[in-house]
Homo-oligomer: A and B are copies of this chain.
């Protein structure tokens, strides 16, 4: 686990972005001026595509970085487990190996999400006490940003996984959003006790039990409250989280398209749109929280961060800074401590046969 004076080495899977390694490297060039001097970077991917960019950038030439060749690239269409297992010399598989072998402390990739989740779970394994990794996302709310997890790493969640998601999300919200005691809410339908399903009932009981000590649990929340900043960490299982995430991303795009179409419908509207174009640009930025540089896969022994395939240099720069923040603040140590504390409290629930021991 890293401490402030520990090594800060980030492995970057430089392939897999929609715009190729160039945009990733431009993002790194933006970041190097703002990150600690001790930060090191391992750039993994096709040397012939990476080196020319590195050599032509004075900022990158001054950074502490190494290019490590990997001949293959995992395509966006490849299947999770098969993709990572078959392409052993892919940039993603190689980068995971470097992290696993302690040559790097964190991994950033904008490649195939399913392969990264499968590869992370298989190669890096979970932290002590953590049963399943969770994909954590940052969303724009009415007043401020919030986190939602699990966004799809574990579609077969049990109550203990939901509880652990809450702990993982709280720790991430502390680092990424700078919150001291993030409020956690469990996403369900209807907030009266008894509504929802079995998973919700049992998870709700567990969360209430660790409220105050391990977590700041604010209770159940409904779909319409997600964006209202009632809580800072919205917890759900990976099936629901993935569908809600994708539906909401898709709805934002649809509204953008409709707005665009309506503004082009006649000359008057076009003129108006030209005058207020700054508003549409700001709106787009507020809705799209990619400044946070993508979604961490939480619960693993090392930091793994998934950047969006469509990320631009600013998004990559944001993701690199978040990765270095995570390494510097010992989030992993805190997660292990919180999970142990929760297990201690919940022991009779998790292992009922030991209740009288």
- Measuring CB to CB, which residues of chain A are less than 8 angstroms from any residue of chain B? 79, 114, 140-142, 152, 155-156, 187-190, 192, 195-197, 222-228, 236, 238-240, 242-255, 257-259, 262-263, 265-266, 268-280, 282-283, 286-287
Contact = CB atoms under 8 A, between A and B. Distances in A.
Given A239-B240, A268-B275, 20 more contacts: A142-B257, A152-B189, A155-B189, A188-B243, A189-B243, A197-B239, A222-B246, A224-B249, A225-B250, A227-B247, A228-B250, A240-B243, A247-B248, A248-B251, A251-B252, A258-B283, A265-B279, A272-B276, A272-B277, A272-B279
Contact of A240 (B240, B258, B270): B240
A350 to B, nearest CB: 22
Copies held by the complex: 2
- Output the residue of A79, A189, A266, A274 with the most chain B CB within 10 A: A189
B224 A254 contact: no
Given A189-B243, A262-B282, A274-B272, A255 B252 contact: yes
B240 A227 contact: no
Contacts of A228: 250
A258 to B, nearest CB: 5
Interface SS of chain A: helix, strand, loop or mixed? helix
Nearest to A273: B276
A123 B236 CA distance: 34
A100 to B, nearest CB: 25
B271 A258 contact: no
B279 A273 contact: yes
Contacts of A254: 140-142, 227
Contacts of A262: 278-280, 282-283, 286
Nearest to A267: B275
A274 B258 CA distance: 18
8 contacts: A240-B240, A247-B248, A248-B251, A255-B287, A265-B278, A269-B276, A271-B272, A272-B274
Contacts of A156: 197
A242 B223 contact: yes
A140 B254 CA distance: 9
Given A114-B190, A227-B250, A269 B258 contact: no
A192 B245 contact: no
Contacts of A142: 254, 257
A334 B228 CA distance: 42
Contacts of A243: 187-189, 222-223, 236, 240, 244
Residue with the highest number of chain B CB atoms closer than 10 Å, among A152, A236, A262, A282: A262
Contacts of A276: 263, 268-273, 276
